[in-house]
Amino acid sequence: MSWGEPDGPIDVTPSDLNAAATTFAGGQTRLDGIADALTTALNSAAGMAGDDKYGKQFAKSYDPAVRALFRTLSAAVRAIGQSADGLVRTANNYLKADHHSNPKSGKGAPKLFPWPGVIDDVMYPDPASAIGGGSNHWPPPIDKYWANGHQDRLRSAAAAFRTAATDINSLGTSLHLQVQAITDVNSSGAIIAMSGFWGRIWHTADPGGMAPLSTAHLACTRLASVCDAFAHAIDQAHSEFEHKVTEAGIAIGLTTAIGVLGTVFTLGGSDAGAVALDAGEAAVLFASVDGILDAAMADYAAEGIAELETVLASAAEEVPEVEAVDAETTEVSEALDREMANAESRGGGGSGGNGGKPPTGGGDPPPEDPAGDGDSTDPRDVHGSNRLGRGVDVDKVWQDGDLYIQEDGQLVKILETGNGKYDVVVRDMSNPSGGPTTVIKDATERYIQNKLANGIWE
């Protein structure tokens, strides 16, 4: 995607565009901070799911989704930076166009806005896995029914995801409003392209996969929910487990009950009795514990976390590489020529030097023709002998005109005569006679623009 060239009617100043670029550059910094804070929090919660069968089942879809989330955040950071860069380049292209549209601006380049200092590219590292050593002090065979995930770490991760989701939503909304402030009152090609590019970074009510920033917001919201849900399921499973152990004193034989309860309250001080509870009895006793966690895993699957990796990857791939174009002098000249050709076809003619609005675009650039009638027959600025110097007050032009230097070293004086017309006198100061080498009457403004924009006169 390419944007940044001045064309189309707009009602925005270069300063507006630069201000938007500054906002986007700040937005990139904010998003980079959001990603860093989330990485730190998730690394602190490493191993939060434990390493039992339920923790591994949780991590099987959680870990790939989180890795995809950070790749998507990387794409969003890159795209927001490109937006800031493109906005500054567009603003500067309008400044160049305004400068070169004014014959009185003299030689030299216009003062341009500085580069916004954004990150060109970034790739965030994968955060720590949810799988890690669990917490379990129970003896076999009942230890396998104790969910060994870490509820506190799961809840810390959930809080980090919620914070990231809130911050991403705030960022997306603020940048969207910044774009709307420009696009709602403008229709130039560059502005429309900018709006389209932004729509592929943030998409309001994104169901997932349409744009990286909005999909990252959705992913953080869902991941926060499942981390909280898994922590709650572990709490319930632990309560049910302890309830079943307490019940065991009544439901099973006295010797086994004493052994199990001894293990409960002495943390392993009487394992002989516990061994008497065989695997079959344990399976029956703690079936309800497994039921709680099985139901939690079913709910987890219903959240679509397994599909989240694909959705995030799709969103990251949706971001095009923006080609922010710096308008070269010739490009500005062609845009100006098109505008002036349109104006003259309407009977208006240009009147450079007023500054303000960029050119509006139009048809093909006209030939180099000072009178505007296409009668270009001489390599000099002479278009038929009947046009050379006729009616031009050479002395007045030389005294009152604006001074430029031609690329071959000759001096050029340009004097506006009204209605978008100019008289031009060119002199070779090394010529002993001091006479003009070229005199042009009623050169059109687009002819002047061509000379200035192409660096023939400076």
**Domain around 182:** 2-127+149-324
Whether residue 220 contacts residue 62, with contact meaning beta carbons closer than 8 Å, is answered with no
Verify that 43 and 106 share a domain, yes or no.
Answer: yes
Per-residue burial over 2-29, b = 16 or more CB atoms within 10 Å of its CB, e = otherwise: ebbbbbbebebbbebbbbbbbbbbbbbb
Residue 138 included in any domain: no
Residue 43, H or E segment = helix 14-44
d(CA 333, CA 341): 12
Q: Give pLDDT tens digits along the chain (458 positions).
A: 444 444 444 456 888 889 999 999 999 999 999 999 999 999 999 999 999 999 999 999 999 999 999 999 999 999 999 989 988 988 888 888 877 766 666 666 788 999 899 988 899 999 999 999 998 888 888 888 899 999 999 999 999 999 999 999 999 999 999 888 887 766 666 677 777 888 889 988 788 888 999 999 999 999 999 999 999 999 999 989 988 888 776 344 444 444 554 444 333 444 444 445 677 887 788 888 888 888 888 888 878 888 999 999 999 987 767 655 555 544 444 554 555 555 545 444 444 434 434 333 333 333 344 444 434 333 333 333 333 445 788 889 888 999 988 877 788 899 998 888 888 888 877 665 567 778 888 888 877 887 888 778 88
Verify that 163 and 17 share a domain, yes or no.
Answer: yes
* Domain count along the chain: 2
Verify that 70 and 209 share a domain, yes or no.
Answer: yes
Verify that 310 and 389 share a domain, yes or no.
Answer: no
Q: Is the peptide bond before 103 cis (omega within 30 degrees of 0)?
A: no
pTM exceeds 0.75, yes or no = no
Task: Select from 267, 294, 324 the last residue of a domain.
Answer: 324
**DSSP secondary structure, 212-240, as one string:** HHHHHHHHHHHHHHHHHHHHHHHHHHHHH
Residue 139 included in any domain: no
d(CA 311, CA 112): 41
Verify that 217 and 254 share a domain, yes or no.
Answer: yes
Verify that 71 and 216 share a domain, yes or no.
Answer: yes
Name the 3-class secondary structure at 425. strand
d(CA 325, CA 341): 24
Verify that 356 and 437 share a domain, yes or no.
Answer: yes
Whether residue 148 contacts residue 283, with contact meaning beta carbons closer than 8 Å, is answered with no
Verify that 272 and 412 share a domain, yes or no.
Answer: no
Whether residue 458 contacts residue 412, with contact meaning beta carbons closer than 8 Å, is answered with no
